[in-house]
Amino acid sequence: MKRLLARHETYIFGIIVVFSIIITAINPNFLTLENAFDILKSNAFTGIMAIGVLFVLISGGIDISFAATATIAEYLTVLICLRVGGSMLFAFFSALVIGIILGAVNGYLIDRFAVPPIITTIATMNLYYGLLIVFSKGRWIYALPQYFRTFADIRVITLYTAEGLPYGLSIVTALWFVLMVLSAGLLFYTRLGRSIYAVGGDAISAKRVGVSVKMVRIFVYAFMGAMASVAGIVQALLVQAVAPNSIVGKELNVIAAVVLGGASLAGGVGTVSGMFLGVMLLAIVQNGMTLMRVPAVWYDVFVGLVILFSVGSSSWKVKKEKVGTFIDIEPLSPPMVQEGGR
């Protein structure tokens, strides 16, 4: 199992390398530190949401509402900050509280009423987003607090171009990396992390060995809400304006990136490093198209092909191996035990 996963990541990594070589051959400006830092900064927002999505997918669920959660956390936090002042730390804290509450509501509803997560989160997405539009009347916020402006410009590493302009590793990229390291640690070295895999692999078996499926589910969706809220603040930092409709609609891109990184929609499978590579692959393809001077009408075609190619070829390999190693036997007794999740 582990070797298989390792193989998927090396696989995605290989595709990234091939793409990078092609793009660089056409436009050498691609393979510069400056471009790399720019990509990492622009995609920190997607990347942070992807961490949450990864957790949800591993647990065997799915969440469509996280973009709405991110928007609400972003919007309310900025409103609160404008009203009562505060600081960047306070902004993150306030967003986290909102995100965790909204996420936990999802988790509770899914577990309590056993509604399929996709329906629950589509419903809560509409509910959250709808309420935001009703109460905000769609108003945009242009005047962010001053510390929002200065914080986004902080660089962890600063370099200078030939013309003497500063560039470097942005604070939001650093934040993304720290969150990834922490989540990887949580997934692999804690009981809770392993329980998430167990629940996603087979909830019934997990329950039998004493995992509290309910707590795991609530945790996973609350964690998703937390990541979404941080991403919301990052988005406000990047764009320097808050619009109630600027994040909603990006859900599928994030989910696609995570699945591209090897997480399974059936649950139980996925790693942080794979997710990172998935996000980067999509980012590089999008970045590369402009750099390779591809006309804009072809963008979507290209992205679609890359997703199909990368996901298709790696799961085809898995399929081949599986067919070679085990035979499926239909259970004769009534299927009270659901057929084994992977």
Judged by CB under 8 A, the residue of 9, 12, 16, 35 near another protein is 35
Cβ 191 to another protein shortest distance, Å: 32
162 touches another protein (CB under 8 A): no
Task: Write b or e for each residue in 157-172: b if 16 or more Cβ atoms lie within 10 A of its Cβ, otherwise e.
Answer: eeeeeeeeeebbbbbb
| Number of residues this chain uses to bind another protein (CB under 8 A) | 34
Alpha-carbon torsion angle 209, 214, 215, 217, nearest 10: 110
Q: Which of 295, 324, 334, 335 binds another protein (CB under 8 A)?
A: 295
- Tell me 32's DSSP state: S
String marking each residue 114-143 x if it binds another protein according to CB under 8 A: -------------x--x--xx--xxxx-x-
Report d(CA 33, CA 38) in Å as an integer. 8
The reply to whether 101 sits near another protein by the rule CB under 8 A is: no
Distance, CA of 81 to CA of 152 (rounded, Å) = 16
Exactly one of 80, 101, 239, 303 binds another protein (CB under 8 A); which one? 239
When binding is defined by CB under 8 A, the residue of 150, 190, 212, 290 that contacts another protein is: 290
- Residue 302 lies near another protein (rule: CB under 8 A): no
* Distance in angstroms (rounded) separating the CA atoms of residues 211 and 198: 8
Rounded to an integer, what distance in angstroms lies between the CA atom of residue 248 and that of residue 267? 24
| Calpha distance 268→61 (Å, rounded) | 10
Q: Which of 98, 105, 101, 108 is nearest to 124 (CA)?
A: 105
With tokens 């599928």, the residue in question is 252
Residue in 153, 157, 151, 175 with CA at minimum distance from that of residue 48: 175
- CB closer to another protein, 174 vs 291: 291
Smallest distance from another protein to CB 82, Å: 15
Contact residue for another protein among 12, 19, 30, 171 (CB under 8 A): 30
Sign of CA pseudo-dihedral 301, 6, 52, 287 = negative
| Site of tokens 């013309």 | 163
Cα(262)–Cα(192) distance, integer angstroms: 21
Q: If binding is defined by CB under 8 A, does position 19 make contact with another protein?
A: no
Stretch that binds another protein, among 48-56, 70-78, 88-96, 287-295 (CB under 8 A): 287-295
* CA–CA gap between residue 218 and residue 213 (Å, rounded): 9
71 binds another protein (CB under 8 A): no
Let me know: does 309 contact 41? Beta carbons within 8 Å: no
Residue 299 sits in the site that holds another protein (CB under 8 A): yes
Specify the residue, 245 or 313, whose C-beta has the smaller distance to another protein: 245
- Work out whether 235 is an interface residue with another protein (CB under 8 A): yes
Q: Which is closer to another protein, CB of 71 or CB of 246?
A: 246
**Cβ–Cβ under 8 Å, residues 225 and 102:** yes
- Given 114, 296, 327, 332, the residue binding another protein (CB under 8 A): 296
What is the nearest approach in angstroms of another protein to the Cβ of residue 190? Answer: 33
Any bridge partners for residue 141, and if so which?
A: 242
Stretch that binds another protein, among 3-11, 28-36, 81-89, 219-227 (CB under 8 A): 28-36
Q: Which residues bind another protein (CB under 8 A)?
A: 27, 29-30, 32, 35, 38, 42, 45, 127, 130, 133-134, 137-140, 142, 163, 165, 235, 238-241, 246, 286-287, 290-291, 293, 295-297, 299
